[in-house]
Structure 1
């Protein structure tokens, strides 16, 4: 009643919807970088929305199936295969004892999600199994480690066949031009009109310096009138502008406080789209009202949570 990890891949983490209520203690939330793909994987299987699953970054994961169950694969196209047969993303599949599940390197996007019916067995830490390597918390063994060769992912057997596919309109194209809305927030007023115009009319390239803490972008530099600020709490998607003027979008494993000026913030769904972009891809930004972000999220929640 388990998957055995034959090859853990570049970075495979056990994630649920995140660790809530501890940022005032310096403990970040963790959770899925791409909430859209994560929640759809659970919806396809009929799992509760926060059921844990695997976030597979860069691919190369290989699992051996030791008991029958149903899985869903969403997110990036990592050339998934079951028993060496290519399978499509955004679908469910029945697997049985002796099967193998494999992922190759990215063809489109960066992070795939593999959910199993009813989730994996693990011990929660502070109410969650979300893996945060830097804080050494969460994951299969509770110590923040990514999956390793020989790990055993236990689950309850599911003999039912679940045959579901995400509607076409829900499936993102991670190679499409990306424009993300930015809500004015934090120190927005400390950026001049010219600086804001530069930010909103320039294309920024995803740099090599990206991880679950933040996405560093490169492009036209912008400056704030502030030399620095007193460290303050930081939300998922906040856009810091350090001294070199190159934006840093803060992600799920961000530090809970920071002292760089911030021009604004992405919505969680917007930050999730950015998390699927690879180095060399570009992103543009446009002003976004908080009300528009709320409507976007309510519509998404209506589909996922009913």
Structure 2
């Protein structure tokens, strides 16, 4: 009724849909960086949408199954192998006792999601199992640590194989050019027309400084008329512009307040697509209406939640 962790990989975290209702106390939400991939993994297995799973960043994870179950793998193609046989993401796989599941290096994308029928048996902290290392919350041990060699991931055994594959239209190409819609928000008016045109007409490159807190981009700098602002609550996908003019997109493990001017905000699905991009990949931005983001999310929710 478990997996043994033979190699934890570069960064493997237990995540559910996030820790809600505590940002006023300075506790961030956490949760999956790529909601699209996360929710599809649970849908393929028939799990509740919130069921916890593994977020595997950069690969190298290796597990041995001690009992039969079915798993779903979505998100990045991390060159997964089942008993040394290559397998593809966006599918389910039946595992038997003694089977080895291993991930290699990224082929397409950065983060894969591994769901098991019924989820992993993990004690929740503040209503969630999501791992936030900075806040020492969640995960297998409850203290925010990522998986480590020798950990045991318990689950409820499931002998009947589940055979499912995500429809082709749901599967993103993380190597494709990425254009992200930005909703004008926060201090958008503090950026002149020329500065906004610069932002929306130039390419930005994903830098080496990316993690679950934020994605730093590099490109033509833009400036706000504000020297700074009083720190205020900040959302997933908000785009801060610090003094050097290089955008920072705030992600799932962001701090709950920020003091830089913000030109706008990505939708959660847009930010999820960004989270699959590696250093050196190019991102462009376009203006997006809030109503369009709402329609996009409603359509996604209708597919996932029914």
User: TM tier, shorter chain?
Assistant: over 0.9
Task: Report SS of the residue matched to 2:145.
Answer: coil
Task: Report SS of the residue matched to 1:301.
Answer: helix
Task: Report SS of the residue matched to 1:291.
Answer: helix
Matched, 1:245 2:242: no
Partner of 1:279 in structure 2? Answer: 279
Q: TM-score with structure 1 length normalisation?
A: 1.00
Task: Report SS of the residue matched to 2:143.
Answer: coil
Partner of 2:85 in structure 1? Answer: 85
Q: Which digits, 9 at most, give the CA deviation of each residue in 1:32-89, with x for residues without a partner?
A: 0000000000000000000000000000000010000000000000000000000111
Task: Please state how far the C-alpha of 1:211 moved relative to its aligned partner.
Answer: 0.1
Matched, 1:192 2:207: no
Partner of 1:219 in structure 2? Answer: 219
Partner of 2:203 in structure 1? Answer: 203
Partner of 1:39 in structure 2? Answer: 39
Q: Which digits, 9 at most, give the CA deviation of each residue in 1:228-276, with x for residues without a partner?
A: 0000000000000000000000000000001000000000000000000
Partner of 1:231 in structure 2? Answer: 231
Task: Please state how far the C-alpha of 1:160 moved relative to its aligned partner.
Answer: 1.2
For 2:249 and 2:37, the matched residues in 1 are separated by 19
For 1:88 and 1:191, the matched residues in 2 are separated by 44
For 2:127 and 2:172, the matched residues in 1 are separated by 31
Runs of 5+ consecutive residues of structure 1 not aligned to the other structure: none
Aligned length, in residue pairs:
306
Task: Please state how far the C-alpha of 1:187 moved relative to its aligned partner.
Answer: 0.1
For 1:89 and 1:239, the matched residues in 2 are separated by 30
For 2:80 and 2:303, the matched residues in 1 are separated by 26
Matched, 1:67 2:39: no
Q: TM-score with structure 2 length normalisation?
A: 1.00
Task: Report SS of the residue matched to 1:104.
Answer: coil
For 2:136 and 2:105, the matched residues in 1 are separated by 27
Task: Report SS of the residue matched to 1:212.
Answer: coil
Divergent runs of 4+, >3 A: none
Partner of 1:126 in structure 2? Answer: 126
Runs of 5+ consecutive residues of structure 2 not aligned to the other structure: none
Task: Report SS of the residue matched to 2:122.
Answer: coil
Task: Report SS of the residue matched to 1:198.
Answer: helix
For 1:249 and 1:15, the matched residues in 2 are separated by 20
